[in-house]
Amino acid sequence: MKAVQIMSYGAADVLRVNEVDRPAPGAGEVLVSVEATSVNGHDVIFRTGELKIVSGRRFPIGTGLDFAGTVAETGADVQGYRAGDRVWGIVHPRQRHVTAGAAEYVTVAANRISHAPAGLSSVGAASLVVAGATALIALRDSVHVAAGERVLVRGAAGGVGTAAVQLAHAMGGHVTALARDHHAELLTGLGADEVLDYRSTTSDRIGPFDVIVDTVGTELHRYRGRLAKGGRMVTVGLSLPALAAIAASSVHGPRRIRTFSANPGSALLSDVADHVTSGALRPVVDSMYPLAEIAAAHEAFERGGAVGKHVVTLSA
């Protein structure tokens, strides 16, 4: 089978589409025929070697954190899934040797998948797995958005941002989206009550907000200052400056900046699927690439400016 592998740490040109043996599911695992995957920040960080303390120096390393497809085979002790079921899921971050989600087949623990929403294409599903799960954890589990609260979403046009705008709206929040002004029509259609151009809007001239969801990872201390009394802020755009701001906020003042390690399982993925089924969450896809052009998809991700997700397809 074909699988994308990282042959050394570096730029996108270290990615190769290689022929490898098709894996077999072990006990408690499912073999999925992958139809689509997306490019996530986690994939880029692994490829560049920023997380080599986790991924090590043994090559090749698989890439592709998420996937959507159909069950090809189940291992022993797997219940609730059978061949032909449409599923989506997330590869465990440590499952990075040889192959991962960017491959024709992937084996994954059954507790890391759920049934994909009916009627959603594989491309749409792949665009929402990580983005939808991350946004739901941030809004529901980290900052506990309540109806009527004022919510700011930074980086609102990206994959997590577009999901966060939709979910915050569905939870009854009054949503302000911070993005480029030419994304205003799209973001309003997703549920934003107002859209501000981040290039001409300074943090000291907006708010205060009850909740801030940050997907950028910069100037966190400035935006933290725009929280109302009792306000909460969460960031998913991690960087060294962001980690420093998070640490400082836990010491100085009550409005600490929160973050989390998104490692969702079946229950959370089923919750995301429910939001899709209810109409509260829909995919936003910036571009699609065939597997052979996954390096171009990584390069597009790193350039930034995407509206939604870059998706890599493995089937027609």
Q: What is the pLDDT of residue 70?
A: 98
Could you give the C-alpha distances from 58 to 8, 46, 96, in angstroms and in order?
Answer: 9, 13, 10
- Rounded to two decimals, the pTM is 0.92
DSSP 182: G
The structural domains of the chain, ordered by start, are 2-120+283-313 (3.90.180.10), 128-258 (3.40.50.720)
Say how far apart CA 249 and CA 57 lie, in whole Å.
Answer: 35
Q: What is the pLDDT of residue 94?
A: 65
The alpha carbon torsion through 133, 136, 138, 139 (nearest 10 deg) reads 170
* Spatial CA neighbour of 258 closest among 241, 239, 242: 242
* φ, ψ for residue 175, nearest 5 deg: -100, 125
311 neighbors 126 (Cβ within 8 angstroms): yes
pLDDT in 10s for each residue of the chain, 316 residues: 999 999 999 999 999 999 999 999 999 999 999 999 999 998 998 899 887 776 677 899 999 999 999 999 999 999 999 999 999 999 987 665 678 999 999 999 999 999 999 999 999 999 999 999 999 999 999 999 999 999 999 999 999 999 999 999 999 999 999 999 999 999 999 999 999 999 898 888 899 999 999 999 888 888 999 999 999 999 986 554 444 444 444 534 556 666 666 678 999 999 999 999 999 999 999 999 999 999 999 999 999 999 999 999 997 4
The token duo for 41 is: 């920040």
| Length of the chain counted residue by residue | 316
Write the burial class of residue 97 (CB in 10 Å: 0-12 exposed, 13-18 middle, 19+ buried).
middle
Q: What angle do CA 213, 218, 224 make, to 5 degrees?
A: 55
DSSP 42: H
Say how far apart CA 231 and CA 248 lie, in whole Å.
Answer: 17
Say how far apart CA 212 and CA 152 lie, in whole Å.
Answer: 5
Neighbours of 201 (CB within 10 A): 13
Please, where are the H alpha helices in 63-211? 122-136, 159-170, 184-190
The token duo for 172 is: 């009854």
Alpha-carbon Rg for the chain, nearest whole angstrom, is 19
Expressed in angstroms, the distance from the first to the final Cα of the chain is: 16
Say how far apart CA 27 and CA 29 lie, in whole Å.
Answer: 5
Say how far apart CA 219 and CA 9 lie, in whole Å.
Answer: 29
Q: CB neighbours of 131 closer than 8 A, spacing ≥ 6?
A: 38, 159, 160, 162, 163, 309
The token duo for 183 is: 């994304």
Q: What is the pLDDT of residue 256?
A: 66
